[in-house]
Amino acid sequence: MKQILHKHLNYVIFSLLLVFLIFLKIINPSFIKSISFLSFDLYQKVFAEKKNSEVVIIDIDEKSLGKFGQFPWNRIVFAEILDKLNQSNPKAIGFDIFFTEKDKQSPDAIIQSYGLIPSDMAELQNLKSPDDIFAEKLKESKSIIAVLGSNVPSHSNYDRKAKARFLSKGGEPKQFTYSYPYSIGSLEVLEKNVKGLGSISFLDQLDGIIRSLPLIVQFNKKMYPTMGLEMVRVGSEQKNIYVELNEVGIKRISARPHKIDSDPNGIIWIKYKKSDKNQYISAGDVYDGKFQTDFFKDKYVLIGASAQGLFDLVKTPLGVTIPGVEVHANVIENILDKSYLVRNPNTYIFELLFSIFVAVITFILSQKVKPKLSLSIFFGNILAIIIIGFSIYKFRSELVDMSYPIFIVTATFLTGLYFRFIEENKIALDNLQKEAKLLKERELAAGVQKSLFPDISKFENFIFARNVPARDVSGDYFDVVRSTPEEYFFTLADVSGKGVKAGMYMAKASSIFRTLTNLKFPLEKVVFGVNNELVEAKFKGMFVTAVFGKLNIKTGELVFINAGHESILTFDQNKNYEYIKSEMPPIGIIKYFTESMVKSNTMNLKDKTFVVYTDGVTEGYLKNGEELGAEGVQKIIDGMSEVTPKNIVESIEKELNWGAEKLRDDITCMAININNTELIKKK
**pLDDT above 80: residue 155:** no
Is 298 domain-assigned?
yes
Question: Which neighbouring-strand residues pair with 268?
Answer: 213
pLDDT reported for residue 111: 57
Rounded Cα gap, residues 315 and 208, in angstroms:
6
**pLDDT above 80: residue 195:** yes
What is the number of domains present in the chain?
3
Q: In what order do the strands lie in the sheet with 568-572?
A: 463-468, 667-672, 608-613, 568-572, 577-580
| Domain end (from 287, 311, 337) | 337
Rounded Cα gap, residues 213 and 194, in angstroms:
23
Rounded Cα gap, residues 305 and 309, in angstroms:
9
The pLDDT-based confidence of 349 (bands split at 50, 70, 90) is confident
**pLDDT above 70: residue 106:** no
For residue 567, give the nearest of 577, 554, 582 by alpha carbon. 582
**583, 594 Cβ separation under 8 angstroms:** no
Cα–Cα–Cα angle for 192, 306, 323, rounded to 5 degrees? 85
Same domain, yes or no: 525 and 651: yes
Is 263 domain-assigned?
no
Same domain, yes or no: 352 and 212: no
Same domain, yes or no: 497 and 390: no
Amino acid at residue number 277: K
Q: Is 492 helix (H, G, I), strand (E, B) or coil?
A: strand
CATH code of residue 464: 3.60.40.10
**391-433 pLDDT per residue, tens:** 999 998 889 899 999 999 888 888 888 887 787 777 777 776 6
Q: First vs last Cα of the chain: how many Å apart?
A: 62
| Contacts for 123 with CB less than 8 Å, ≥ 6 apart | none
For residue 18, give the nearest of 30, 7, 10, 8 by alpha carbon. 10
pLDDT reported for residue 112: 60
Residue 655's domain comprises 444-672
Same domain, yes or no: 195 and 279: yes
Instruction: Give residue 365's Cα distance to chain centre.
Output: 29
Is 264 domain-assigned?
no
pLDDT reported for residue 270: 93
pLDDT reported for residue 683: 60
Over residues 634-642, mean pLDDT: 91
**452-478 pLDDT per residue, tens:** 788 888 999 999 999 888 777 777 889
**540-554 pLDDT per residue, tens:** 778 999 999 999 999
Phi, psi of 244 (to 5 degrees): -105, 135
Same domain, yes or no: 148 and 60: yes
Q: Is the previous residue joined to 257 through a cis bond, with omega within 30 degrees of 0?
A: yes
**663, 468 Cβ separation under 8 angstroms:** yes
| Domain end (from 314, 337, 360) | 337
Q: What are the distances in angstroms from CA 95 to CA 145, 304, 475?
A: 5, 7, 82
Question: Looking at the chain, how many residues does it have?
Answer: 683
Is 174 domain-assigned?
no
Question: Which neighbouring-strand residues pair with 165?
Answer: 240
E strand segments, 553-604: 557-563, 568-572, 577-580, 601-604
pLDDT reported for residue 472: 72
**pLDDT above 60: residue 492:** yes
pLDDT reported for residue 362: 84
Same domain, yes or no: 111 and 154: yes
**206-220 pLDDT per residue, tens:** 788 999 999 999 999
Rounded Cα gap, residues 297 and 91, in angstroms:
7
For residue 476, give the nearest of 621, 630, 617 by alpha carbon. 617
Same domain, yes or no: 616 and 536: yes
Same domain, yes or no: 608 and 572: yes
**355, 404 Cβ separation under 8 angstroms:** yes
Is 502 domain-assigned?
yes
Same domain, yes or no: 565 and 453: yes
pLDDT reported for residue 9: 76
Is 177 domain-assigned?
no
**222-260 pLDDT per residue, tens:** 999 999 999 999 999 999 999 999 988 999 999 999 999
pLDDT reported for residue 441: 64
| Domain end (from 312, 337, 362) | 337
Same domain, yes or no: 518 and 391: no
Is 176 domain-assigned?
no
Same domain, yes or no: 417 and 300: no
**110, 162 Cβ separation under 8 angstroms:** no
Q: Is the previous residue joined to 118 through a cis bond, with omega within 30 degrees of 0?
A: no
| Other residues' Cβ atoms within 10 Å of the Cβ of residue 679 | 13
Cα–Cα–Cα angle for 585, 589, 590, rounded to 5 degrees? 90
Q: Out of 7-11, 253-257, 512-516, 524-528, pick the least confident.
A: 7-11
Rounded Cα gap, residues 218 and 230, in angstroms:
14
Is 418 domain-assigned?
yes
Same domain, yes or no: 11 and 80: no
